[in-house]
Amino acid sequence: MRRLAALIVAMSLALPAQAQQRQDVAASAPSDVSVTIYRAPSRNGGSIQLSNLGGFAVVMETRTIRIPAGRSRLRFEGVVDGILPESAIVSGLPGGVLEKNRDAALLNPSSLVRAARGKVVTLKRTDPRTGKPVLVTAEILSASDQGVVFKTSAGIEDLRCSGLPEMFRYSSGAEGLSARPTLSVLTNSPRAVTATVTLTYIAEGFDWSANYTALINPDGKTMDIGGWITLANGNTVSLANARTQIVAGGLNRAYVRKFYNNQPQVIARCWPQQRTHQIPRKPERPYQLVSPYQGYLDDGFADADSIVVTAQRGRNLEMASPPSPVMMASPPPPPPPPPEQLGDLKLYRVPQLTTVAAMQMKQTRLVEQRGVPFERIHTSAISAANYGAGEERPGVLVLLRTKNDKASNLGLPLPSGAFVILQEQFGLPMRIAEPILRDTAEDEKIELGAGMSPDVTVVRRTIRREGNRHWIEVEISNASPQAIAFELKVPTYGNWKIAESSVPWIKRDGTPVFLVPLASGASTTLRFTTSDN
Amino acid sequence: MRRLPLIAAASLIALATAAAADTGIDITIYADNQALVQDTRQITFDGKVQRVEFKNVSAQIRPETASLAATDMRIIEQNFDYDLLSPAKIMENAVGQTITLVRTNPATGAETREQAVVLAANGGVVLQIGNRIEVLRDDGLPVRVIFDKVPPNMRADPTLSITLQGAPGTREASLRYLTPGLGWRADYVALYDDKTGTIDVQGWVTLTNNSGTTYENAKTVLVAGNPRMLGQSSGNYRQPYRGEDGEGMVEAGTESGTRERLGDYYLYPLGERTTVANLQTKQVSFLDVHGAPAQHGYEIRFGWMQTSDSPISAATVYQFSNSAKGGLGDQLPAGIVRFYIRDSRGQAQFIGENAIGHTPMGSKLSISTGQAFDVKVQPVVEARTRVNDRRWKTTMRYTLTNALPKPVTVRVVQGGLWGDVRISAESQKSERRDADSVVWNVTVPANGKTDLTATFDSRY
């Protein structure tokens, strides 16, 4: 007995400090969850695809753990699968954090047979005469994506060549492999205690978008603006009863090398299996010297690549749009509270606790502003000088212009998103255009493109050229039943400027602009000269 | 596990001795996905030429860098066997040899055994059975093939084997090699407090193991700095990509820290032995500073004299120092700084991140976390006139707007001033930072607007 005790002491001394008496404790399920969702950096409108979400979220969970005295490993199960383990912050541990680990080696059939390589297992085969199972002792020699090779007392053979059921039974191998990627923390607590621990981490696979509707009122002078936030969780974990926030504004992400499991799956297959006509020709080895550093160089190349910002993600326009806000607009809800300032970003809170379920999209009200006055502007741009291009007939764009201020019944931050402009006709709202709004702060002007106008025509001709001086004539006609406010832009480059003009013009943002009000059915001709002197 | 290498050694590879239990693994991990592993094991030398096998080495080992060190021993040959044992490989190696075929009668289930010589295994397998030649499984019926032995150079895992001769006895031998698949970087958590103008910074080293092997109880040292590796150009070490705004380190430090050094690199030894498991991300703290002073500001940079038809958001910039006095008091290895700020309910919310390069102690850092929603600048070329054949005059107006209820100061940087550009007039005094750019610090009142104008006299 004493000898045994001495042996145990000796063993425990020989064991490294870390392995001594380390207890493994699982944290409770989260009792309080908060999720803050951030948009994909490139997103400014358009639909969300659940399978490919470019945004992320910061998840905060409160969990309870019974921590034993001394060293222990605390496991946090059920964290969102898109977790960036390096971003995890654990607070509230009396013994502090010695080490944080995230193990991605998962238990699956492939990792189990891989772990059994070189070990003795039981092979269950089928007796071909009786069909009864036969148990044989086997040693697994190799298991890879090429096949599984094992050894029995009969010799060495491959799995799945007998044409009858064959399988391995393992006695061990599941140790150290977890069911899900698990975040764990090593701590050294001075005493046993039940602690409330907060875990905060960044997780990918979330996104949100803002969608606005602008319904033009029958007076044609005001519109009602409504906005919805659509948020999405593309992870397999749901966040139940979560305090939910959304952050608008542009924030930096640093792109880092991602960490993938590059081990191929084990495939059990007999080789060769094909009959003569199915057998592919064996590829010939090319006769060339292969650099032993090839693999390494490739790796280095990939490394250099990985720091390129790859935020651009193609949007698939064929995917379904989020459920249209139009359909839900019937009973007007009260205007939602304005966002909170978070540094230089905007934080929106979903008013009640909500469940952000796995693979789910969810909508919440963003703005509800009625009677926003706007100006309807027709505009086009012509060149200050052209040579031999003949007539220019630029398209005429319709702009709805307003200002994001209190006087215009707005005056609140509007995160970038897609607009749907609607106007009632035959008692039905008709879609007019779908422009994109960029992040718009208070007091900024808002210009929404509302399509092209076929009723307004602009023709520009150069009448005469002399040295660096051009005589230009622009004919504008209005075939629409309403009077319009037309703006003609003449962008100038280099030294070009408007020298003389029959009508006055203004300069806006460095560009000369002619303001031309035009009655229904009227047309007018502007004459001016441009020069490069 | 202990038992089986013996079986294998006895039955399959008569000469080989498996290197016995590890007595210790030391890993030195560099920041660029590269590690030096020193694997110390007990080896029993028999005085004759013998082959020693090292299993469980990194699956991504660079075999050309492997070396074994032990007393009273000479190395004859070093082999790295990576010919993976697979059904196809074992058949290809059996060409010319006799194998056993086990066929099952589909009607009765009776098994018949036959000896066959493998004639070829090029895609399909051609066999000679007695006087006839057959293609294996050409009838589509299952046939079991039984081999007598595993070819000696085939392994289930990449294995390093060394042929050596040493004076008889059991001694320690250290195997050293370089391997990719292990790397680390720093991750920083910075919590900014707007009221006090301070930050709390925690620094974590994050190491990742994707090398395919688990290192049990390893003594681990992390090296900050970038040793030159084969295939990289010498010199010109570039700081990581940071984007345009915020410049990372704006003033290089001159203070020496108390960290251990190796040549020009800093060393971060982990406090205790730890197991670095395959596919694991591990984090250990190395920095925890509270209440270091920090400033919040705005910056915008224009690469050339441009007109924008809409206002452009200024970058949000946080500035702090890592000096021992009034700073973080440590050098900062390259990594990612994530900024957080508390919301009205006291919960820390993420506001952006950026990468920093290796930063010596005493440096000043200016890190951009993103674009400000409420602080914007619209640049407009008001006029551009030719003065004469050689000179042009460009009048720029920058309209700075602030939708915040407090005044802000924006650092406006106009770049792209090639050649001998002079400023002939400006609405407020500028600072010429270098020949190519000029800087203004412009104050914008709360919920207000400031116009900055400047006239550039340039050659183009």
Residues 329-348 of B with CB under 8 A from A: 336, 338-339, 341, 343-344, 347-348
- pLDDT exceeds cutoff 80 at A291: no
Summarised one tens digit per residue, pLDDT across range A63-103 is: 999 999 999 999 898 888 888 888 999 988 988 888 999 88
Question: To which residue do tokens 């030429």 refer?
Answer: B49
Distance CA B148, CA B116 (A): 12
- pLDDT exceeds cutoff 80 at B245: no
Residue of B nearest to A161 (CA): B144
Distance CA A410, CA A442 (A): 8
The pLDDT of residue A34 is 94
In the three-class reduction of DSSP (H, G, I as helix; E, B as strand; rest coil), residue B259 is classed as coil
Contact criterion met (CB below 8 Å) for A244 and A347: no
Q: What backbone phi and psi angles, to 5 degrees, belong to B8?
A: -60, -45
Summarised one tens digit per residue, pLDDT across range A437-487 is: 988 999 999 999 988 999 999 999 998 888 889 999 999 999 999 899 999
Yes or no, beta carbons of B104 and A162 under 8 Å apart = yes
Residues 235-254 of B with CB under 8 A from A: 240-241, 243
Question: To which residue do tokens 């978008």 refer?
Answer: A209
- pLDDT exceeds cutoff 70 at A44: no
The pLDDT of residue B17 is 67
Contact criterion met (CB below 8 Å) for A107 and A177: yes
Write out the DSSP string of B55-118: -S--TT-EEEEEEEE-SSEEEEEEEEE-EE--HHHHHHHTBTSEEEEEEE-TTT--EEEEEEEE
Distance CA A84, CA A102 (A): 10
Contact criterion met (CB below 8 Å) for B172 and B70: yes
Mean pLDDT is lowest, of A414-418, B240-244, B277-281, B301-305, for B240-244
| Of B105 and B248, the one with more pLDDT | B105
Mean pLDDT is lowest, of A115-124, A371-380, B154-163, B432-441, for B154-163
Distance CA A475, CA A458 (A): 6
The pLDDT of residue B372 is 93
Distance CA B202, CA B191 (A): 9
Residues 352-411 of A with CB under 8 A from B: none
Summarised one tens digit per residue, pLDDT across range A516-527 is: 999 999 999 999
The pLDDT of residue B19 is 64
Q: Other CB atoms closer than 10 Å to residue A499's CB: what's the count?
A: 15
Q: Which residue type does A176 have?
A: G
Query: Torsion over CA of B267, B269, B270 and B273, rounded to 10 degrees?
Result: 150
Rounded to an integer, what is the distance from CA A130 to the centroid of its chain?
58
Q: Which residues of A touch B87 (CB under 8 A)?
A: 146-149, 158, 269-271
Structure tokens at B329: 């008091």
Distance CA B341, CA B200 (A): 10
Q: Which string of b and e fits A141-177 if b means at least 16 CB within 10 Å?
A: bbbbebbbbbbeeeebbbbbbbbbebebeeeebeeeb
Contact criterion met (CB below 8 Å) for A306 and A257: yes
Q: Which string of b and e fits B74-113 if b means at least 16 CB within 10 Å?
A: eeeeeebbeebbbbbbbbbbbeeeebbbbbbeeeeeeeee
Distance CA A431, CA A321 (A): 15
CA neighbor of A522 nearest in space, from A395, A423, A384, A378: A378
Contact criterion met (CB below 8 Å) for B398 and B308: no
Which residues are bridge partners to A126 per DSSP? A133
The pLDDT of residue A60 is 94
pLDDT > 70 in chain B, percent: 90
Q: What backbone phi and psi angles, to 5 degrees, belong to A18?
A: -65, -35
Rounded to an integer, what is the distance from CA B70 to the centroid of its chain?
33
Contact criterion met (CB below 8 Å) for B284 and B205: yes
Non-local (6+) Cβ contacts of A64 within 8 A are A27, A28, A31, A194, A195, A196, A197
8-state DSSP, B359? B
Non-local (6+) Cβ contacts of A405 within 8 A are A411, A442, A443
Q: Which residues of B touch A140 (CB under 8 A)?
A: 156
**Summary count for chain B: helices (H), strands (E):** 2, 33
8-state DSSP, A325? G
Which segments of A145-192 are extended strands (E)? 147-152, 155-158, 167-169, 182-189
Instruction: Give the angle A391-A393-A397 at the CA atoms, nearest 5°.
Output: 160
Residue of A nearest to B85 (CA): A142
- pLDDT exceeds cutoff 70 at A12: no
pLDDT range class, residue A2, cuts 50, 70, 90: very low
pLDDT range class, residue A282, cuts 50, 70, 90: low
Mean pLDDT score across all residues of chain B: 84
Distance CA B179, CA B168 (A): 31
Burial environment of residue A76 by CB neighbours within 10 A (0 to 12, 13 to 18, 19 or more): buried
How big is the A-B interface in CB pairs under 8 Å? 322
Burial environment of residue A427 by CB neighbours within 10 A (0 to 12, 13 to 18, 19 or more): exposed
Yes or no, beta carbons of A161 and B375 under 8 Å apart = no
Mean pLDDT score across all residues of chain A: 81
Burial environment of residue B2 by CB neighbours within 10 A (0 to 12, 13 to 18, 19 or more): exposed
Compute the radius of gyration of chain A from its Cα atoms: 35
The pLDDT of residue A526 is 93
Mean pLDDT is lowest, of A260-264, B241-245, B411-415, for B241-245
Q: Which of A344, A403, A495 to mutate to test the interface with B (most CBs of B within 10 A)?
A: A344
Mean pLDDT is lowest, of A135-139, A325-329, B278-282, B451-455, for A325-329
Write out the DSSP string of B285-352: EEEEEEEEEEEEEEEEEESSS---SS-EEEEEEEEEE-SSSSS--S-B-SEEEEEEEE-TTS-EEEEE
The pLDDT of residue B304 is 84
Please compute the mean of the pLDDT values over residues B277-282 and round it to a whole number: 88
Which residues are bridge partners to A246 per DSSP? A37, A348
Distance CA A354, CA A347 (A): 17
In the three-class reduction of DSSP (H, G, I as helix; E, B as strand; rest coil), residue A300 is classed as helix
CA neighbor of B183 nearest in space, from A91, A306, A200: A306
Complex prediction ipTM: 0.79
Please compute the mean of the pLDDT values over residues B369-393 and round it to a whole number: 89
Give whichever of A121-135, B50-64, B231-245 has the largest mean pLDDT: A121-135
A252 touches chain B (CB under 8 A): yes
A301 touches chain B (CB under 8 A): no
Distance CA A350, CA B273 (A): 46
| Of A96 and B460, the one with more pLDDT | A96
Which whole-number Å values give the CA distances from B308 to A405, B302, B385, in the listed order? 22, 11, 19
Contact criterion met (CB below 8 Å) for A72 and A60: no
Rounded to an integer, what is the distance from CA B353 to the centroid of its chain?
17
Contact criterion met (CB below 8 Å) for A121 and A133: no
The pLDDT of residue B22 is 59
Q: Which residues of A touch B102 (CB under 8 A)?
A: 162
Structure tokens at B436: 């190519």
Give whichever of A315-329, B91-105, B229-243, B258-272 has the largest mean pLDDT: B91-105
Q: Which of B133, B283, B317, B449 to mutate to test the interface with A (most CBs of A within 10 A)?
A: B283
In the three-class reduction of DSSP (H, G, I as helix; E, B as strand; rest coil), residue A230 is classed as strand
Structure tokens at B330: 């440590």
Please compute the mean of the pLDDT values over residues B355-384 and round it to a whole number: 90
Alpha helices in A17-137 (DSSP H): 109-115
A92 touches chain B (CB under 8 A): no
| Of B419 and B176, the one with more pLDDT | B176
Please compute the mean of the pLDDT values over residues B396-406 and round it to a whole number: 94
The pLDDT of residue A258 is 67
The pLDDT of residue A119 is 85
pTM metric for this prediction: 0.78
Summarised one tens digit per residue, pLDDT across range A318-352 is: 333 444 444 333 444 566 778 888 888 999 888 77
- pLDDT exceeds cutoff 50 at A357: yes
Write out the DSSP string of A458-490: EEEEEEEEETTEEEEEEEEEE-SSS-EEEEEE-
CA neighbor of B338 nearest in space, from A345, A253, A36: A253
Q: Smallest CA–CA separation between B338 and chain A, in Å?
A: 8
pLDDT range class, residue B299, cuts 50, 70, 90: very high
